[in-house]
Structure 1
Amino acid sequence: MGKGTIKKVAGPLVVAEGMLEANMFDVVRVGKKHLIGEIIELHEGRASVQVYEETSGLAPGEPVESTELPLSAELGPGLIGGIFDGIQRPLVAIMEATGLNIERGLDIPSLDRSRKWLFKPISAVGDKVGGGDILGVVSETQIVEHRIMVPHGISGIIKSIAEGEYTIEETVAVLEKDDGSSANITLMQRWPMRQGRPYKRKLPPDEPLITGQRVIDTLFPIAKGGVAAIPGPFGSGKTVVQHQLAKWVEADIVVYIGCGERGNEMTDVLNEFPELRDPRTGRPLMERTVLIANTSDMPVAAREASVYSGITIAEYFRDMGYSVALMADSTSRWAEALREMSGRLEEMPGEEGYPAYLGSRIAQFYERAGRVLTLGNGDKEGSISAIGAVSPPGGDFTEPVTQATLRVVRVFWELDSSLAYRRHFPAINWLTSYSLYGDSLGKWFDENVGEAWTSYRSRLMQILHEEAELQEIVRLVGIDALSAKDRLKLEAARSVREDFLHQNAFHEVDTYTSAGKQLKLMELVLMFYDKALEAIDRGAVVDELIAMPVRERIGRFKYISNEASDDEHESIMRQIDDETSKMAVKEGS
């Protein structure tokens, strides 16, 4: 076992000598208090250790001892509904053991060792199984069926398999391996956080991840297994968008990583999620959620580990065949932790002081997302959709973290502070945002929601872009210089912005809009525009068209419940037809 002594302490970085038997990325126990750390640099027995706890009080000469194991996540029943810190320590269990302040050097396991879980076998004695095959299930919550899998790297014939209540450390199955030895399978397995879990092959991202947010689903959709970035300056609503996605996204499991964000924002999540009802099951949302809470006042090194902790848990549920949505808020704080540790290691700095390997680290993280065919018998399909918030200083999107992220992700939801100041939320700028999945997902929407989806989406985008051009003219010469049709186009664009894109996250109905209702709302906005254009051709006055009473009903449609939306949609369409027809007749008579 690698044992050494502290030579130097520099904030979260500890340099230890005499670590000849240690290996890179070993977890170590530092000092008399046994603080948790990880070796990040090793040279001739001199190890640089990033410590995941506060290092004040450490002194040269204190012991450093390697566990000879990499930083690993504990994976098994008890994850769902759990609240963990950046290195997967259970915060609720720590609070019960020590009070409100986390004591240093605690050694509390991530998953409860005393709780018993009812294991129901699916496989039988004599079955040939390998890594990723499902042996049985545990009902972890009323929403999530936890599938107990054979750990990767183990295969053989089942000699015995149990049924009943067991703790996560008790043996539930025994395999006879190919070499004749036995392997005991428990409900829990471990996996190194920095290493991606294997799968058979990646699948194309051709199915959307419905979020219920109109500007996202309609204009800038993300695919299941896709990756997206939400960059925005302070106050533009990044965290609220992340919360909305975590609440309403159509995924089986949600992993939310609060990485270096303010404590009050994580408190909002912890208070809201147990109260929220899953729209699909009616159960509390926490029954399918894992929270990683690593706030800005926690040690900076643990912030760097938190994203790996979250993505490893997400991969574990993906391997069961689930669709997982992972939210990282924010990757900028993670990058700042990389920069601080790089500076302590005295590495050559890159742009703005970030390490030269910043881009590759960001790419490695997002590459672990995707829609895959998992290991094991049968065609189990699982996916991880990764959505990372980026907090560029001063809203400067040319800074290194944003640029490195944009090179990897395929969806870019740019949050605009000017929209936020005008109280337009979500403040996603429709002129600068993009989704590279838009065209490939259009076919799915046309087949599963309505055949007009792609054409409606294209028309909305066209109206918004033409509005931007017309606004330039209005600023130069005034609105009176515009033709009647151009004035109507501005009004149609205003309807797109205010009636369709603007969405109230705190309204009981408007907080989530199904894809079918989004299609109906698009149709109403475009029908008004088309019918009004026809009326102008017949001599109608644009000011009277804009003032039609039906306009108010179109704006209120998004507040109509799903159950009543069909009847209201038909009624509004009849009213649009009736009012524009009468106006055209009156003006033409």
Structure 2
Amino acid sequence: NKIMIPPNISGKVKNVKSSGKYNVDTVLLTVEGKDGDHDVKLYQSWPVRIPRPYKERLLPREPLVTGIRVIDTFFPISKGGTAAIPGGFGTGKTVVQHQLAKWSDADVIVYIGCGERGNEMTEVLEEFPQLIDPRNGRPLMERTILIANTSNMPVSAREASIYTGITIAEYFRDMGYNVALMADSTSRWAEALREISGRLEEMPAEEGFPPYLASRIGEFYERAGRVNALGENKRVGSVSVIGAVSPPGGDFSEPVTTGTKRFIRCFWELDRQLANARHHPSINWLDSYSEYNSELKEWFSKNIDPDFSKFRDRVMGILTEDDNLQQIIKLVGEDVLPDNQKLIVRVANIVKVGYLQQDAFSDVDSNCPLKKQHEMLKVILKYYDRAGVLVSKGVAVSEVLDDSIVNILMRMKENISMDKFDQFKEIEKKMDSFFDSLDNKYQTVKEA
């Protein structure tokens, strides 16, 4: 915690306390201003509905690394960015937000339980003190701020909880920290707005929500950003806002979801079919999007690998082609497909199960660093390229899809820990040996 002069105070500092232990009401120093003396304590008072000022807003140039592969690889969010996680009941919104709170590389986490069940907040309180931050070896609870406003609390408090959380996030942003704010869920906050509006006898709009719902949602998400804080010392901080949306019945055309999409740049849509198939996180890779991909391309190229973005685009192309082929398979079956298309379907399945699917409760796979993500993509695409060359030469796809190699690709997310990336080289050697022997075998048969 850093001691900051409040934004609306300037002057000469005097009566500074020496280092020691003080309570929050202790006057640490006094600022002699034109309008009198101002006492500075260990806390600041600020109206929660008014954004805290800053010197300059900066462009998003660095990703908020979450450790979730489907997000970091395909739909990244920048530090200071905005994202929404819409999904029906039971699709895994809270689990995804807990994962983001645990493993994202933010300095401070603000978790707002707005109108949700009390047991979800209890789970955070019980689990987070036992988890260790991989960056500094300290308990994750030390960087986490919880705002518990569960469904049994007053409606007015629920409506204010969102603003309280974003103001606390801005306070730590002004210290130069990168803050990630999780709001679970903004739909319950919107319902509180609707109830307050009804009691005030205001004219209702669509589905009973107040007509100013969209502007209130916009005011909340627009307080995110990466900025230069006020003061002479250059301090760059950010607030990244990630809000869960709970549309009734999974209807994404309802007012809260449509209003949110106007103001966010990442949309991580949770799919009920994926959730029912036990595919978690159940983020739909075809309907989700991120507008930060182009802005973060340079960062990925410099810090991870120049080919990272190219690998991502190729894998997304495989998944898109697989979706088109699945329509044909539903009608006439997979047997009618040519071998090159059968290969696409099988490789897409490796990507879905071996890459996109991630166990939130695994000791190894719950948090996947970007270097590991890149190596996994590289190995999968190498398998696809080598197999595609042999299939084009007339080798049967059943020969190419060797069970031992496929199983290695499916399980490398669990079998390779963070400190053993050299094992990816061993996988590549096994693949090269297998494909070289298969190529020589068919070359010999062809010559004979």
In the aligned structure 2, how far is the partner of 1:167 from the partner of 1:468?
Answer: 60
Q: Which amino acid aligns with 2:75?
A: F
Corresponding residue for residue 434 of structure 2: 579
In the aligned structure 2, how far is the partner of 1:184 from the partner of 1:224?
Answer: 33
Corresponding residue for residue 460 of structure 1: 315
Corresponding residue for residue 32 of structure 1: none
- Contact 1:303 / 1:337 at 8 angstroms: preserved in 2? yes
**1:498 alignment partner, one of 331, 353, 373:** 353
**2:32 alignment partner, one of 176, 182, 201:** 176
In the aligned structure 1, how far is the partner of 2:277 from the partner of 2:30?
Answer: 63
Please give the residue correspondences for 1:558-577 in structure 2 after superposition, counting only pairs within 5 Å. Answer: 558-559=413-414, 560-565=416-421, 567-577=422-432
Deviations 1:447-480 (A, max 9, x none): 1001110100000110010001111111122211
- Contact 2:14 / 2:31 at 8 angstroms: preserved in 1? yes
511-520 or 534-543, which deviates more = 534-543
Corresponding residue for residue 375 of structure 1: 230
In the aligned structure 1, how far is the partner of 2:128 from the partner of 2:93?
Answer: 18
**1:304 alignment partner, one of 123, 144, 159:** 159
Q: Which amino acid aligns with 1:300?
A: V
1:182 shift after superposition: 2.1
- Contact 1:541 / 1:587 at 8 angstroms: preserved in 2? no
The reply on whether 1:434 has 2:297 as its aligned counterpart is no
**2:2 alignment partner, one of 142, 147, 160:** 147
Corresponding residue for residue 22 of structure 2: 166
**1:203 alignment partner, one of 54, 58, 62:** 58
Corresponding residue for residue 42 of structure 2: 187
1:507 shift after superposition: 0.4
In the aligned structure 1, how far is the partner of 2:423 from the partner of 2:337?
Answer: 34
1:265 shift after superposition: 1.1
**1:553 alignment partner, one of 403, 408, 412:** 408
Scaled by the length of structure 1, the TM-score of the pair is 0.74
- Contact 1:322 / 1:381 at 8 angstroms: preserved in 2? yes
In the aligned structure 1, how far is the partner of 2:24 from the partner of 2:418?
Answer: 43
- Contact 2:114 / 2:184 at 8 angstroms: preserved in 1? yes
Deviations 1:315-347 (A, max 9, x none): 000000000000000000000000001111111
1:167 shift after superposition: 2.0
Aligned partner of residue 2 in structure 2, secondary structure: strand
Aligned partner of residue 130 in structure 2, secondary structure: coil
- Contact 1:538 / 1:584 at 8 angstroms: preserved in 2? no
Please give the residue correspondences for 1:72-87 in structure 2 after superposition, counting only pairs within 5 Å. Answer: none
- Contact 1:222 / 1:411 at 8 angstroms: preserved in 2? yes
**2:268 alignment partner, one of 404, 413, 425:** 413
Q: Which amino acid aligns with 1:279?
A: P
- Contact 1:557 / 1:568 at 8 angstroms: preserved in 2? no
Deviations 1:338-362 (A, max 9, x none): 0001111111100000000000000
Deviations 1:250-307 (A, max 9, x none): 0000000000011111111111111111111111111011000111111122110110
For structure 2, the residue ranges without an aligned partner over 5 or more in a row are: none
Please give the residue correspondences for 1:106-505 in structure 2 after superposition, counting only pairs within 5 Å. Answer: 146-163=1-18, 164-178=20-34, 181-505=36-360
Q: Which amino acid aligns with 2:84?
A: A
Aligned partner of residue 116 in structure 2, secondary structure: coil
In the aligned structure 1, how far is the partner of 2:419 from the partner of 2:274?
Answer: 32
Q: Which amino acid aligns with 1:382?
A: G
Deviations 1:351-403 (A, max 9, x none): 00000000000000011110011001122100000000000000000000000
In the aligned structure 1, how far is the partner of 2:15 from the partner of 2:149?
Answer: 41
1:247 shift after superposition: 0.2
- Contact 1:535 / 1:581 at 8 angstroms: preserved in 2? no
Deviations 1:468-522 (A, max 9, x none): 1111111122211111000000011111111110000000010000000000000
Deviations 1:223-269 (A, max 9, x none): 00000000000010000000000000000000000000111111111
In the aligned structure 1, how far is the partner of 2:133 from the partner of 2:314?
Answer: 33
Corresponding residue for residue 522 of structure 1: 377
Deviations 1:36-94 (A, max 9, x none): xxxxxxxxxxxxxxxxxxxxxxxxxxxxxxxxxxxxxxxxxxxxxxxxxxxxxxxxxxx
Deviations 1:409-431 (A, max 9, x none): 00000000000000000000001
In the aligned structure 2, how far is the partner of 1:173 from the partner of 1:461?
Answer: 56
Scaled by the length of structure 2, the TM-score of the pair is 0.97
Aligned partner of residue 191 in structure 1, secondary structure: coil
1:550 shift after superposition: 1.6
In the aligned structure 2, how far is the partner of 1:267 from the partner of 1:165?
Answer: 31
- Contact 2:68 / 2:368 at 8 angstroms: preserved in 1? yes
Task: Report % sequence identity.
Answer: 55
Larger gyration radius, structure 1 or structure 2: 1
Q: Which amino acid aligns with 1:416?
A: D
In the aligned structure 1, how far is the partner of 2:327 from the partner of 2:411?
Answer: 30
Q: Which amino acid aligns with 2:26?
A: E
572-581 or 314-323, which deviates more = 572-581
Q: Which has the higher helix share?
A: 2
Aligned partner of residue 7 in structure 2, secondary structure: coil
In the aligned structure 1, how far is the partner of 2:272 from the partner of 2:75?
Answer: 19
The reply on whether 1:511 has 2:366 as its aligned counterpart is yes
Greater RCO between the two (CA within 8 Å, min separation 6)? 2
Aligned partner of residue 388 in structure 1, secondary structure: strand
In the aligned structure 1, how far is the partner of 2:329 from the partner of 2:141?
Answer: 50
- Contact 2:85 / 2:269 at 8 angstroms: preserved in 1? yes
In the aligned structure 2, how far is the partner of 1:251 from the partner of 1:187?
Answer: 23
In the aligned structure 2, how far is the partner of 1:342 from the partner of 1:361?
Answer: 13
**2:389 alignment partner, one of 527, 534, 550:** 534
1:186 shift after superposition: 1.7
Deviations 1:5-46 (A, max 9, x none): xxxxxxxxxxxxxxxxxxxxxxxxxxxxxxxxxxxxxxxxxx
- Contact 1:548 / 1:579 at 8 angstroms: preserved in 2? no
Q: Which has the higher strand share?
A: 1
For structure 1, the residue ranges without an aligned partner over 5 or more in a row are: 1-145
Corresponding residue for residue 72 of structure 1: none
- Contact 2:340 / 2:392 at 8 angstroms: preserved in 1? no
1:207 shift after superposition: 0.8
1:538 shift after superposition: 2.7
In the aligned structure 1, how far is the partner of 2:42 from the partner of 2:150?
Answer: 30
In the aligned structure 1, how far is the partner of 2:133 from the partner of 2:260?
Answer: 31
1:548 shift after superposition: 4.1
